[in-house]
Amino acid sequence: MAKPNGSVARETVDINLRLSGREVRLSGARDQAQSLAAALRELSRGA
């Protein structure tokens, strides 16, 4: 996947979370990261 500036997007992303005071680092596929972000947004809204 090319970005507008011509660089290629990575297929994996690194995610840093702080859960209950602990730092958690994850690495996963871009689509999985997008799904995780959507789920976290719903949780933050109290869904």
pLDDT digits (tens, 9 = 90+) for 7-25: 566 689 998 988 899 999 9
- Categorize the per-residue pLDDT at 46 as very low, low, confident or very high, splitting at 50, 70 and 90: confident
Instruction: Report the distance separating Cα 15 and Cα 35, nearest Å.
Output: 12
> pTM of the prediction?
0.56
